[in-house]
Amino acid sequence: MAKHVFVTGGVVSGLGKGITAASLGRLLKARGLKIAAQKLDPYMNVDPGTMSPYQHGEVFVTEDGSETDLDLGHYERFIDEDLNKFSNLTSGRVYWNVLTKERSGAYLGSTVQIIPHVTGEIKEAIYSLAKKTEADVVITEIGGTTGDIESQPFLEAIRQIGHEVGRTNCLFIHVTLVPFLKSSAEHKSKPTQHSVKELMASGIFPDIIVTRSDEILEESIKDKIALFCNVKRDCVIENRTVPVLYEAPLMLHEEQLDTIVCRELNLTTKEPELGEWEAMLSTIKAAQKHVRIALVGKYIQLHDAYLSVMEALKHASWALGSQVQIDWIDSEQVTEGSVDQLLSQADGILVPGGFGDRGIEGKILAARYAREHKVPYLGICLGMQIAVIEYARSILGYADAHSSEFNPDSQHPVIALMPDQRGNIPKGGTMRLGTYPCVISDNTNMSKAYKGQRIIAERHRHRYEFNNDFRQELIEKGLIISGTSPDGTLVEAVELADNPFFVGVQYHPEFKSRPNRPHPLFSLFIASSLGLTS
Ligand code: GLN
């Protein structure tokens, strides 16, 4: 039977609960255990797919095409296990399932209630992940902060699971902020005490309290938290802010997190094998070179909107002995007048994914700048579409070339919906999502990046496609189609020959990059940006 670890958060949101959960996953996996991870989000959206990146950061796409919370990206990067549609559940989805069952008569005769029906649906999701994955330990993170109205059914569901599986098979970890007051030069434990009190009112008694702080905590504060929150003294575990995110598992191991979790769950394992992770951190710290990448997007005020892209850039740079500096360029600021000045310092230019027409012209200018100045360019999803639009405008001379997403009246819609997609499509969950195969053409940068592999599989999240009506013309004028769907109908990658690296891909390579296994396309992009390729 699987053991369950539940991670809740208190005091403030954005604490790094996800990093704590992901780090614990890494440590337990390093002890030889099979781990499954899951995030339960109390908001009412059915999935995060329709949410603005400004509100919730990027939407992370899993292999099976689920649009999930960005914390799942942390889980995949830290634990290195592919997640799936069972790994993220929102209140919206829970209610949707319950109401669908109610309409189909599944509860006929009963009054449908939060307890037991909504809580039952939540429990079912947790238990079924354990069953499907046959994991030794299922780590379930509850989004939001203790005390939120929306989280109550989730807390009640995990309380019931604690009761059903018994305390040796279940562990509650509460992650809280311990603020430092400059005026009195001390940490304060009171917010943690209040947060735990709130949790206890839901019937949950935390076994472990993970304290988040920027500085080292005084022992007296830990004593106080243990005493007033009713946990063993060594179950108050310090989680300090670390300069590199990937240090978190090692820091938490030093603080005995995994040892104590195993002790409390009666799990006997070998010592964790952390050699590879430690070697990776040494590489990260030893990286001396410097590479500067201009990321031209429209959600740049919130870096979390491009979290996986940012991490993928770091992974590739570290492996090549360099630290990456990302210049966050607001595409609305990129104009004919400003483009040279904004991009002249960049070693490479990246245009990431996006939706809606705000800032589109700035992105097109950035692609033109990269092409004309032969600066390495990586276009991801919208970034590939932008590259095609720019080429059609500048080289084919179609001044109104566009994507029909942004200009439905363009006479030259080089990016458009496929014929079978046209019609009134609802916004949620209707895109090309998840993994699709792509066949790579020989003698291209794509083939060089993927080391000659002919068929690859990458994750998608988009609605519009390269329009085949313009394919021949674009090819004749020099655009290289370097990746297509196996039947040749969908263009998955384009590139230019007379640039060291100018590649646009319709998919999102960033989702598959790992700190210890950088994505090959990012690696070649960074290598070109560093001038390491011939
Ligand atoms: N908006 C574009 C589309 O739907 C690109 C999407 C993306 O970049 N993820 O096709």
Amino acid making up residue 76: E
Residues 34 and 53 in one domain: yes
Ligand 1, atom nearest to 431 Cα? 4
Looking at ligand 1, which residue's alpha carbon is closest to its atom 8? 353
For residue 491, give every residue at least 6 positions away whose Cβ sits within 8 Å of its Cβ, in sequence order, or none. Answer: 465, 466, 468, 471, 481, 483, 484, 506
Residues 30 and 101 in one domain: yes
Residues 243 and 123 in one domain: yes
Q: Measured from the CB, is residue 525 less than 6 Å from ligand 1?
A: no
Residues 108 and 215 in one domain: yes
The number of folded domains in the chain is: 2
Q: How far is the CA of 463 from the centre of ligand 1 (A)?
A: 6
Is 117 a catalytic site residue?
no
Residues 218 and 305 in one domain: no
Of all residues in the chain, what percent carry a pLDDT higher than 70? 98
Q: Measured from the CB, is residue 381 less than 6 Å from ligand 1?
A: yes
According to the model, what pLDDT value does residue 47 have?
83
> pLDDT grade, residue 424 (50/70/90)?
low
Residues 206 and 317 in one domain: no
Q: State the CATH number of the domain containing residue 478.
A: 3.40.50.880
Residues 233 and 108 in one domain: yes
> pLDDT grade, residue 427 (50/70/90)?
low
Q: Give φ, ψ of 218 to 5 degrees.
A: -70, 145
Model pLDDT for residues 42-68, shown as the tens digit of each residue = 999 888 888 888 888 899 999 999 999
Show which of 251, 279, 307 is a domain's final residue: 279
Domain limits for position 433: 287-530
Show which of 279, 297, 323 is a domain's final residue: 279
Residues 38 and 92 in one domain: yes
Q: What number is the average pLDDT over the span 492-521?
A: 97
Is 508 a catalytic site residue?
yes
For 381-431, list the strands marked E by DSSP.
402-403, 413-416
Question: How many residues are there in the chain?
Answer: 534
For residue 88, give every residue at least 6 positions away whose Cβ sits within 8 Å of its Cβ, in sequence order, or none. Answer: 38, 39, 40, 41, 47, 48, 66, 68, 69, 72
> pLDDT grade, residue 533 (50/70/90)?
confident
Q: State the CATH number of the domain containing residue 144.
A: 3.40.50.300
Q: What number is the average pLDDT over the span 74-83?
A: 94
Residues 259 and 376 in one domain: no
According to the model, what pLDDT value does residue 56 have?
82
Q: What number is the average pLDDT over the span 186-206?
A: 94
Q: From 384, 463, 490, give the residue whose CB has the most ligand 1 atoms within 8 Å, as the site to mutate.
A: 463
Q: How far is the CA of 513 from the centre of ligand 1 (A)?
A: 20
Rounded Cα distance between 261 and 7, Å, is: 12
Q: If we measure between CA atoms, which residue out of 166, 243, 268 comes closest to residue 207?
A: 166
Of all residues in the chain, what percent carry a pLDDT higher than 90? 87
Burial 293-312 (b: 16+ CB within 10 A, else e): bbbbbbbbebbebbbbbbbb
Show which of 250, 279, 308 is a domain's final residue: 279
Is 273 a catalytic site residue?
no
Q: What number is the average pLDDT over the span 248-269?
A: 97
Model pLDDT for residues 430-448, shown as the tens digit of each residue = 688 999 999 999 999 999 9
Residues 268 and 299 in one domain: no
Residues 61 and 113 in one domain: yes
Model pLDDT for residues 109-138, shown as the tens digit of each residue = 899 999 999 999 999 999 999 999 999 999
Whether pLDDT at 287 is above 70 = yes
Binding residues for CTP, as ranges, are: 13, 148-150, 188-193, 224
Residues 357 and 306 in one domain: yes
